[in-house]
Structure 1
Amino acid sequence: MSHITIYHNPKCGTSRNTLALIRDNGFEPQVIEYLKTPPTRAELMALLHDMGLGVRDILREKEAVYSELGLANSAWSDDQLLDALEQHPILMQRPIVRSAMGVRLCRPAERVLDILPPTQKPANT
């Protein structure tokens, strides 16, 4: 069985749909509810690196705290943005999925299909 991890928010429809797609393809992922168990700074940096994205690429601009903190201001450094993500994990786009085939921000949910291993269908007997 391939190891798959989803950084999940159960209140998010896209996150729920992504989790359902993973399960519909025969995998039971490790589910990390990142609002309860936020990724560490090192984990965030590794996810960003593996996705080929910058910190701003995973910020949820529609969250109230985004405006409250003034994150639209381009003067914020990556380190400062990572600090904000650590303090306010709601700012992180979701879901992010890691598998042996890569890491993706799965918006839309179907993007997860690019990184799911081929499924083994039972032979008809």
Structure 2
Amino acid sequence: MATISPPLIFGPYIGGITDLKHLNESTAVLWSLLDAKEVPPSDFTGFVDVPVAAKAHIEVYKRPDAGGQRFLVASPFNYQDAVDALREDIPELVNCIPEGTKGINISNTVYCVNRKC
């Protein structure tokens, strides 16, 4: 057995969203940006795209030497990057999403398991 440890996972919501009161955590993070007064500070700076997480699970399954190991899958995340992407990808909502300072990386914190980061 191997362990895959992803942080927030972003990607398509299977089956569609039927109730905004019951969003998964990563979708709720993005939803909270709608009508926000400002770009919030990033409290956790990791995410993974759902296809990447899925591929990691498949690769671990195919490799017997992965047994007994733990694998971290993540890319840096900050709210400014999220609002920049949302404002670009969904222009009809641009007036509902805070602008912040386009392109600025709010957090320089990156989690790592060794001191080479």
Shorter-chain TM-score: what band? under 0.3
Higher CA-based Rg: 2
The structure that is helix-richer by fraction is 1
Query: Taking structure 2 as the reference length, what is the TM-score of the superposition?
Result: 0.24
The TM-score with structure 1 as length reference comes to 0.23
